[in-house]
Amino acid sequence: MSSTPARRPNQFALAAYWFAWEMHWAALLGATLQAQIARFMPPTMFGRATAVLGAVGALLAIFSQYGAGRASDLVRRRMPFIIAGTLLDIVALYAFAVSPSFGAVIVSFAAIQIALNIAGGPYQALIPDRVAKSAQGRASAFMGLMRLAGTAAGLLLAKFVVHQPGPGITAQMYTHSFVLLVSVISATLLVALVVTLIGVRESPGDVAEPQAVLADWPSRTSFWWLVVSRAFVSAGLYLILPFLGFYLRFALHVARYQSASLSLLLLMVVCSLIGTVPAGVLGDRFPKKSIIYIALALLTLGAVALTFTNVLAAVAVIAVLLGAGWGSYYSVDWALATNLLPAGRAGALMAIWNLGASAPQVAAPIIGGLLVDHVGAAAGDLGVGYRVLFALIAAFVVCGAFALAFVREPREGVAPGTP
């Protein structure tokens, strides 16, 4: 790695942009996309509309994140990409806010995915660039804390700003609420960008010279197995966020489903925040895989429980399980990935590793959207499709745990003198 670990980089500045990043996606994925879908599409098409939006946007995000990450490795600079991607994203956000049709929503959301991932590919390489492997658990925990805090902020913003479609809600009211929402997101992105730029000053040598050959990279096989593991787990997580509100509406018959969904997601995030830092700190002292297995067990139990419950109060209890697993997984899985990287390839390889999250953004909405529509139609009850969906989430998480068994964790990722 580079010489930067000795600098003891400012953890707040290093992770600040994650807050804005997650606030951005939580506000859009937690309620705003659902509001746009319900605004323009009939209920029998909700699943397919979600599939189209998620698939188109995420597919483009994969290419933009890898391309920007690889380019930042070659030029050995991260910040120009982060700045350009952020500014382009703000333009795309306002186009999304004033979209007059579902076709315009698709185009503007695709632009959002491309733009923010131009920033995201290089940005996520900053921790492996700047932090020693034996300290990456703490750095990743701080990152996880900022990400989950951003998620909470985004969900709260959406809860108070975005209208649930219904009688009396006019097109002008929608547009006004969306413009207000993207204005707050844009301001947060700019503030976080300035904090990161000032606190993480970029200079020659911060990005190591890329290794010419990766064939002899010792952790190559483990890295790819971790990508597979993350892909399965992320597929499960990405089926929760866009479909939870519709699950509450059709399976539990909750009238104010959008507000209830956001409240439950906020509860998950709060529980995630509680477990994130302890999990990250323990990840520097104990095998990270053990902590990840515990997190995956909690996620599996929560998903199975949602398949069978009929009571909204029980969903709140289940949200606690999901939140604890979510936070612990987010924190430690990232640290394990950064431990496996060779010097000078963090931009491209972290973008590839992030395919474990981006690729499921393509596949999960397609699989989930088609599943809930077809199963619901066959059963004569739309709620049945959403119950089957949560059984599928549990299956995905179990597959992720199986793939993790093939990952060999490097000893240098554990601080000296620990078990």
For residue 95, what pLDDT is reported?
94
Percent of the chain whose pLDDT exceeds 70: 82
pLDDT mean across residues, the chain: 80
Report pLDDT for 413.
Answer: 46
**CA 93/CA 89 separation, integer angstroms:** 6
Asked if 80 contacts 71 with a C-beta cutoff of 8 angstroms, the reply is no
Q: What was the pLDDT predicted at 417? A: 46
pLDDT at 224 over 50: yes
* Residue 9, domain CATH: 1.20.1250.20
Helix (H) or strand (E) holding 368: helix 355-379
**pLDDT confidence band for 6 (50 / 70 / 90):** very low
pLDDT for the residue 284: 65
Tell me the average pLDDT across 328-352: 72
Let me know if residue 319 belongs to a domain.
yes
What token pair was written down for 325?
């697993």
Q: Specify if 244 maps to a domain.
A: yes
Q: Is 218 helix (H, G, I), strand (E, B) or coil?
A: coil
Asked if 338 contacts 13 with a C-beta cutoff of 8 angstroms, the reply is: no
pLDDT at 145 > cutoff 50:
yes
Diameter of the chain measured on Cα atoms: 65
Q: Please report the pLDDT score of residue 393 as a whole number.
A: 92
Residue 418 domain flag: no
Higher-scoring residue by pLDDT: 8, 19: 19
Q: How far apart are CA 22 and CA 193, in angstroms?
A: 13
CA dihedral sign of residues 190, 194, 200, 206: positive
Query: What are the two backbone dihedrals, phi and then psi, of residue 204, each rounded to the nearest 5 degrees?
Result: -55, 135
Joined together, the tokens standing for residue 115 give 């733009």
Q: What is the mean pLDDT of residues 160-183?
A: 80
What is the rounded CA–CA span in Å between residue 145 and residue 152? Answer: 11
Residue 419 maps to a domain? no
pTM of the model: 0.68
pLDDT at 416: 45
- Is the separation of the CB atoms in 377 and 250 below 8 Å? no
Note whether residue 392 is domain-resident. Answer: yes
Place of tokens 């477990």: 275
Give per-residue pLDDT as tens, 19-74.
998 899 888 876 787 788 888 888 778 878 877 887 777 778 778 888 887 788 77
- Between CA 359 and CA 58, with CA 39 as vertex, the angle to 5 degrees is 10
**pLDDT grade, residue 86 (50/70/90)?**
very high
- As a whole number of angstroms, the distance between CA 325 and CA 158 comes to 24
Would you say residue 247 lies in a domain?
yes
Q: Please determine, for residue 246, whether its predicted confidence score (pLDDT) is greater than 70.
A: yes
Instruction: Say which residue the tokens 């999901």 belong to.
Output: 322
Q: Is residue 366 part of a domain?
A: yes
What are the E-state strand segments in 69-131?
none
- Looking at residue 79, its pLDDT comes to 86
- Specify if 292 maps to a domain: yes
Instruction: Give the type of residue at 275.
Output: G
**Number of folded domains in the chain?**
1
Range of the domain at 135: 4-413
Task: Label residue 259 by pLDDT band (50, 70, 90).
Answer: confident
Task: Return all residues near 27 (Cβ < 8 A) that are at least 6 apart.
Answer: 154, 155, 157, 158, 162, 181, 185
